[in-house]
Amino acid sequence: MDVVLISDHPMTLGVQFLMTHLKDQADLNVSCRVRGILASSTDFSRIECPYTVAEREHLENYLGKTKPEIVGISTIERTRRRSMLLLPAIRKILPNAFFLAGGVDAIAAPHFYLDNGIDGVAMGDGETVMEAVLKRRLNGGREALMSQVPGMITRQHPSSDPASTPDVLPMPYYGEDLLYLGQDGMKPWVEDDRKDHVQFVNRKRAIDMYTQRGCTHKCAFCAQDLLALYGKDSFRNSRRRPVEDVVRYIGSVKSNYPQKQFVYFWDLDFLRKPRAELLKFAELYRSQVGLPFFVFVTEKSVNAAGLEILTALVSAGLRTINMGIQSGNSRVLRGYNRLNTPQESESAIAKINEATKNSDIEVLYDVITYNPAETREEIIDTIRLIMRIPTNGGQVIRLSTHKLSFNTGQAHSKEDQPHSFEDYQDFKTNASIYQSTQSPYLSWLLGQMMRGKISRSAIGSVRRDYMEKLLDESYVATMDEHHALNQVLYEAVVPRDNEAFL
């Protein structure tokens, strides 16, 4: 039986975990050929766009030849429309296949997917659900899938408890059954050459990896921990893998694919480990792998780890460190259900600066912009926090902005909020800014600060020595009152073609 798993977004590891888990099941490995198609565009600016004619043809031809009986689709909100536009054509090619959706968007809105051509939705981590689906299909045919499968919702069985989760996180699959969909057809994984993204720099020829799931925060705006399903239990998904296993596995991937030049750790908080384990990782990684690598961190974990751990990771090959600031105001952070304070952010920024100032490491800070509930004073709190980021070292400091996300199913979602399929960017025009913030001018200014690199003289595309004048109370009021002036300033200052990132 042929099985095809499709990942239609940049985070491909969910499908790669599934492939490893299924291939490790001896009984399934004999009866099933599991292939993965990484169908996200290699151009990050296109991941929300419909498939091109060429991409559709290549995918349809491939599915027509392999004729899989099970098709799994991994979902996020940003690529929902793209996936749903393609689904009817695939169903015509595979009229008898069973289509199973998983991932944060399908879990948040399962009945949307069921109403639009999906047969089942895996509620939670998909390994055990997909394993059960394959075994049911092998033993009883397609009809057996219409009965209750634990952890799966269907039209016949519209509710289910979350799927049980294996204790240990699988290592992601890398091998001949992993393909990329491109304009010129299917390519082996090794040939991938992703373009750099505004937020995720150094993405070219990268090995993606996890050491654990879960996060120290329980943020209302985040869907990464499947909070809509698991009642905001951020730690529920904390599936650890011994660092020795992880380092050994990365070493084997590096040996098999010497073209790979970078490692991305997608742990939502890489430093959420015991100090001894982090020091062991740094030692093993430096001696056995040595490739530059990327990590996400949080304020609390940076402050807990301290300079010794950060310095050890830098010595081991840490090349990019990404921390979310999100806001410089305590009330706004509480509204996000984010368990930190601006003071903790500033303390963590100081520690990161001290650990990286003698290197050319990239330090990336994120902020959420265009929150309709923020006051002028609260936006200014964030601007001033960014202004205090030290610039006295050799590191490259990058700034990234993303709009407040209204992910389907999240607690803060509002029916009157239109879906946005744009993220990690400033407004491209001022068309909607006046309905999205209490201070269009300050939100615009913050967006400009968060576009690109920070240096001694400039923050993003705004010079530091202009900031006090730009934040003058009467100036802010005038710019908010006269939208045409704000438009003129926008046209004069906004970078063209992300020039701040060059």
Query: pLDDT of 198-245, one tens digit each?
Result: 556 666 688 999 998 777 677 777 655 455 565 555 455 577 889 999
**Residue 102 and residue 225 in one domain:** no
**Residue 53 and residue 142 in one domain:** yes
Residue carrying structure tokens 């995720």? 200
- Give mean pLDDT, residues 482-488: 80
Give the separation between CA 475 and CA 473, rounded to whole angstroms: 5
Within 140-197, strands assigned E span 152-153, 178-182, 185-188
Which domain-ending residue is among 120, 153, 186? 153
Does a structural domain hold residue 147? yes
Give the separation between CA 180 and CA 195, rounded to whole angstroms: 14
Under a CB-based contact definition with an 8 Å cutoff, are residues 429 and 395 in contact? no
Does a structural domain hold residue 171? no
Give the per-residue pLDDT at 306: 96
- Give mean pLDDT, residues 22-34: 92
Quick: pLDDT tens for 292-314: 999 999 999 999 999 999 999 99
Instruction: Please tell me what DSSP assigns to residue 435.
Output: G
Instruction: Please state the separation of Cα 23 from the chain's center in Å.
Output: 25
Q: Strand 2-7 relative to strand 452-454: parallel, antiparallel, unpaired?
A: unpaired
Which domain-ending residue is among 132, 153, 174? 153
CATH code for the domain in which residue 472 is found: 3.80.30.20
Under a CB-based contact definition with an 8 Å cutoff, are residues 377 and 476 in contact? no
Q: How confident is the model at residue 501 (pLDDT cuts 50, 70, 90)?
A: very low
Under a CB-based contact definition with an 8 Å cutoff, are residues 231 and 260 in contact? no
Give the separation between CA 162 and CA 51, rounded to whole angstroms: 32
Give the per-residue pLDDT at 412: 31
Quick: pLDDT tens for 321-375: 999 999 999 999 998 888 889 999 999 999 999 999 999 999 999 998 878 889 9
Quick: pLDDT tens for 70-124: 999 998 877 888 888 999 999 999 999 999 999 888 888 899 999 999 999 998 8
pLDDT at 420 > cutoff 60: no
Give the separation between CA 340 and CA 381, rounded to whole angstroms: 15
CATH code for the domain in which residue 47 is found: 3.40.50.2300
Spell out the alpha helix ranges (H) of 174-323. 227-230, 243-256, 275-288, 299-316
**Per this entry, what is the length of the chain?**
502
Paired residues of 181 in beta bridges: 186
**Phi-psi region for residue 358, left (φ > 0), alpha (ψ -120 to 50) or beta?**
alpha
- Give mean pLDDT, residues 31-50: 79
Give the per-residue pLDDT at 351: 98
SS3 (DSSP) at 99: strand
Count other Cβ atoms within 10 Å, centred on residue 359: 16
**Residue 284 and residue 359 in one domain:** yes
Does a structural domain hold residue 453? yes
Give the separation between CA 34 and CA 499, rounded to whole angstroms: 42
Instruction: Please tell me what DSSP assigns to residue 293.
Output: E
Q: Of 264-268, 382-386, 450-454, which one has max mean pLDDT?
A: 382-386
pLDDT at 129 > cutoff 70: yes
Under a CB-based contact definition with an 8 Å cutoff, are residues 134 and 70 in contact? yes
pLDDT at 411 > cutoff 50: no
Of residues 286, 317, 281, 291, the one with CA closest to residue 205 = 291
**Residue 79 and residue 206 in one domain:** no
**Residue 115 and residue 222 in one domain:** no
Average pLDDT, the chain: 84
**Residue 19 and residue 141 in one domain:** yes
Percent of the chain exceeding pLDDT 70 equals 83
Quick: pLDDT tens for 425-451: 444 445 556 667 889 889 888 888 887
Quick: pLDDT tens for 231-288: 555 455 577 889 999 999 999 999 999 988 999 999 989 999 999 999 999 999 999 9
Crossing angle of helices 376-387 and 342-356, in 10° steps, is 20
**Residue 488 and residue 358 in one domain:** yes
Q: Which amino acid is at 444?
A: W
| Domain of 344, in residue numbers | 201-501
pTM over 0.85: yes
Query: Domains in the chain: how many in total?
Result: 2
Does a structural domain hold residue 166? no
Q: Of 36-40, 76-80, 408-412, which one has max mean pLDDT?
A: 36-40
**Residue 213 and residue 141 in one domain:** no
Under a CB-based contact definition with an 8 Å cutoff, are residues 124 and 163 in contact? yes
Does a structural domain hold residue 168? no
**Residue 127 and residue 231 in one domain:** no
SS3 (DSSP) at 383: helix
Q: How confident is the model at residue 404 (pLDDT cuts 50, 70, 90)?
A: low
Give the separation between CA 285 and CA 290, rounded to whole angstroms: 6
**Residue 212 and residue 145 in one domain:** no
Which domain-ending residue is among 83, 118, 153? 153
Does a structural domain hold residue 178? no
Higher per-residue pLDDT: 429 or 45: 45
Does a structural domain hold residue 265? yes
**Residue 18 and residue 84 in one domain:** yes
Does a structural domain hold residue 146? yes
For 369-390, letters b (16+ CB in 10 Å) and e give bbbeebebebbbbbbebbbebb
Higher per-residue pLDDT: 406 or 35: 35
pLDDT at 457 > cutoff 70: yes
Residue carrying structure tokens 């559709």? 56
Output the CA–CA distances (angstroms, integers) from residue 264 to 241, 255, 433, 499, in the order listed. 16, 17, 34, 25
Instruction: Mention every residue, 6+ apart, whose C-beta is less than 8 A from residue 207.
Output: 174, 250, 253, 254, 257, 260, 262, 263, 264, 291
**Residue 427 and residue 368 in one domain:** yes
